[in-house]
Amino acid sequence: MRRVEVKINNKNSQLIEEFLTYLSLDRSLSPNTCDAYEADIHKLLDFIEGKDLVSVTSEDISLFIRYIHELGLNPRSTARIISGLKTFYKLLITQDYIEQNPLQTILTPKLPKKLPEVLSHVEIETMLAAIDFSKISGERDKTVIMLLYGSGLRVSELVNLSINDLYLEDGFIKVLGKGEKERLVPIGGKTIKQIGLYFQYYRNEVSNENSKNTLILNQRGNKLSRVSIFKIVKDLASEAQVKKSISPHTLRHSFATVLIEAGADLRAVQQMLGHESITTTEIYTHLDKAYLKSVIEQYHPRS
């Protein structure tokens, strides 16, 4: 993307600020997502060389999209830019800055569904077996893996878990997900037992006045960071010689896939994952042909 030294005028600056406030407060989007939306508006501003955003036309947008396409931007990035600009101009309409959305006739590129990478149960077990329990961090690392894989938590949800969120006698944990939405997620007996071991052999040893109510701690007694969890997962995958490109989110994908392939109800999986839309959960229905064949043979009266 070309970078023109464009000075943002006060009007454009105000519109961008209002948009970011809307994304953060009304849409409850993460800071990273807000930053991506803002960066896309700046790409447009660079292209139109500082022109007022309220005066952008459909022709301007068409030329801009053709330009980023010629730069070789991949379809997924192009689709995100178009989606972000559509959201921005829809807001300008609701706030009476403009009367017509210049992206009204612009189609978002159709993207092929990218199936998430998943780990088999054997691969998960191999990673758990690779944990070095001679180190004090061993029980913590096992707890991290089991919560990600056993309850399908996002990294942000895991690092923000508190002791008060545990309802182990009832077999549930309370999770604060995207948009500050709470949900109850079932937790299995093996994970409950592991949490007990984590308290006994790790948390009780490292906790201090800074630990407060935080569940997962680093060795200094502070909240374990997202980066640290990424490192734990990556290092264990490497030790286990797992050749796939994985992240903590891979364990969440694996959790969902195991449930779907075992015949779990899609709506139930949606609730456990905290997906707002069922269509997001449907990506986990990438079942193998043998499983689909067995379902037909078992349930279809005319098979």
Q: For residue 268, count other CB atoms closer than 10 A to its CB.
A: 12
The Cα–Cα gap between 56 and 159 comes to: 42
- pLDDT at residue number 237: 95
The type of residue at 231 is K
Read off the pLDDT of residues 72-98 as tens digits, 9 standing for 90 and up. Answer: 777 778 888 988 899 999 999 999 999
Domains of the chain: residue spans and CATH: 10-94 (1.10.150.130), 121-296 (1.10.443.10)
pLDDT of residue 248: 92
Q: Which residues of the chain have pLDDT under 70?
A: 1-6, 109-116, 277-303
Q: Is 98 exposed, middle or buried (0-12, 13-18, 19+ CB in 10 A)?
A: middle
Tell me the Ramachandran region of residue 145: left when phi exceeds 0, alpha when psi lies from -120 to 50, beta otherwise. alpha
| Catalytic residue positions, numbered | 154, 178, 249, 252, 275, 284
Residue 246 per-residue DSSP state: -
Q: How many residues does the chain have?
A: 303
Going across the sheet that includes 172-176, the strands are 166-167, 172-176, 182-186
Taking Cα atoms as reference points, which of 228, 250, 211, 213 lies closest to residue 140?
228
Interval 236-253: pLDDT, tens: 999 999 988 888 989 988
Q: What is the DSSP letter of 223?
A: B
Where b means 16+ CB within 10 Å and e means fewer, 100-128 reads ebbbeeeeeeeeeeeeeebbeeebbebbb
Tell me what pLDDT residue 130 has.
Answer: 97
